[in-house]
Amino acid sequence: MRNNTIGSLIWLRLMRFTNQSNQMSNEFLKRFDLTTAQFDVLIQVRTYQPLTQMELAEKVTVTQGGISRMLARLEKEGYIVRKQDWKTKTISLTDKAEAIMEQVLPEQLAFQSSFFDDVLSEEEQKTLYALMSRVHKHSEKKEIPPA
Amino acid sequence: MRNNTIGSLIWLRLMRFTNQSNQMSNEFLKRFDLTTAQFDVLIQVRTYQPLTQMELAEKVTVTQGGISRMLARLEKEGYIVRKQDWKTKTISLTDKAEAIMEQVLPEQLAFQSSFFDDVLSEEEQKTLYALMSRVHKHSEKKEIPPA
DNA sequence: TATTTTAACTTGACTAGTCAAGTGATGGTG
DNA sequence: CACCATCACTTGACTAGTCAAGTTAAAATA
C-alpha cells in the first residue's frame, strides 16, 4: 500500500543511510574541529587549488550563494584564503588547513570505508559502486517531468 | 593518491547522488507547494497517526528540536495539528494534507522510482536494495571509533 | 500534600543550504 | 570615451537541521 515500488524503497534507504552516516561523520570529525561539509570543501580545494568559487561550487554541488557563505566561514576560521584576482576570486588552503588535512585525510577515508568494509566483500563493494555510478550519472542528465 | 579506497568512492557517490536527487525532488514537489523534507514527515504522520513527536523524530532520523521546528512550520501551513494530550503532543494530518497526500504520493513514488527504473534492471535494483539494506542496518549499530 | 524528578517539547545560537535581488569590476560597443 | 552589459560574487529572507539550556506538566517521593 505505501512505499511499494522497489525504487522508492531504495531511495528511502539511501536517504536514511546518507543522513545517518553524515551525522556520524560529523561526530567523528569533531575531534579535528571540522564538519563533514567543511571537510568536503577543503578536500576539493586541496586537490584543485587554486580555483574559483564557480568551479568549487560545481565540484561540491552547491549553489554560488552556498559556497560564498561556506568560504566566509572557512576564511574566518583561517582554513582558506581568497584572493581577488582579475574579476574572480582564487581560493587556496592556508598552511594551517594543509597541515590539518594531512592528518585528517587518512582517518576520514578509513572512517568512510568502514561503513562498507565491515559488511560487504570486495566483490560486493565493486558491484555497489558500479550500480551507484550508473544511477548517479543518469541522475545528472535527468529532467524533471513537467507538471 | 586521493580518495583511494573503494569505500570512500562509494561514499562520495552516495552523498552526491542523494544531494542531487534531493534537489530534484524539491523542484518536482514545488508544484504541490511541498519540500522533500515536508513530504517525508507527512508520509510518516499519515502512516502512523496519531503519534508523538518523539516517535516521529525517530522515524525520520531528526532530533527533537528539529522535529519541533518542522512541525511548527507544517502547522502554520495547516498541514497538521498537534493536540496536547496527556503530557505528550499527538500529531495528525488535517483534511487538507490528507487530500494533498492522496494526490502527491503516487506521483512522488513514480518520481523516486524513475531514478532507478531508467537505468537498472529489476534484478539490479534488487541487488542494490539488498546491499544498501545491509550497509544501512550495519551503520545503525556502528560506533564512532574513539579519538 | 508539598517538593522534587523526569519526560516531552521549545527555543536561542549556530551550521548549511536555497533562491533571487543586489554589487562592482571588466570588457565590448555606439 | 562614455555607457551598458555581463560575469563573479555577496546578501537578505527562508527552510532544515544541530546542540544544549529552558519550560512545563505529570509522576513519584518524602
Cα–Cα separations (whole angstroms), residue A94 to A47, A80, B73, B99: 13, 5, 41, 54
Identify the three-state secondary structure at position B42: helix
Q: How many CB atoms lie within 10 A of CB A31?
A: 12
Please tell me the predicted confidence (pLDDT) of residue A9.
Answer: 94
Please tell me the predicted confidence (pLDDT) of residue A36.
Answer: 97
Question: Does position B84 have pLDDT exceeding 80, yes or no?
Answer: no
More confident residue, A143 or B1: A143
DSSP 8-class letter at B30: G
Rounded to an integer, what distance in angstroms lies between the CA atom of residue A89 and that of residue A102? 25
The share of chain A scoring above pLDDT 70, in percent, equals 95
Please tell me the predicted confidence (pLDDT) of residue B2.
Answer: 58
Please tell me the predicted confidence (pLDDT) of residue B87.
Answer: 57
CB within 8 Å of B9: residues ≥ 6 apart = A129, B3
Q: Report CB contact under 8 Å: B8, A119.
A: no
Give the pLDDT mean for B47-62: 93
Give the pLDDT mean for A65-86: 91
Chain A residues in contact with B93 (beta carbon < 8 A): none
Please tell me the predicted confidence (pLDDT) of residue B85.
Answer: 67
Q: Is the CB of B31 under 7 A from strand C?
A: no
Give the pLDDT mean for A43-71: 94
Question: Does position B81 have pLDDT exceeding 80, yes or no?
Answer: yes
Cα–Cα separations (whole angstroms), residue A134 to B17, B18, B23, B119: 10, 14, 19, 7
Question: Does position A89 have pLDDT exceeding 80, yes or no?
Answer: no
**How distant is the alpha carbon of residue A32 from its chain centre?**
17
Rounded to an integer, what distance in angstroms lies between the CA atom of residue B37 and that of residue B66? 11
Q: Report CB contact under 8 Å: B127, A127.
A: yes
Helices (H), B30-94: 36-48, 53-59, 64-76
CB within 8 Å of B128: residues ≥ 6 apart = A10, A128, A131, A132, A135, B116, B120
Question: Residues B122-147: pLDDT tens digits?
Answer: 999 999 999 999 999 999 888 888 87
Question: Residues A101-132: pLDDT tens digits?
Answer: 999 999 999 999 999 998 999 999 999 999 99
Identify the three-state secondary structure at position B109: helix
Rounded to an integer, what distance in angstroms lies between the CA atom of residue A2 and that of residue A8? 10
Q: Report CB contact under 8 Å: A128, B124.
A: no
Question: Does position B88 have pLDDT exceeding 90, yes or no?
Answer: no
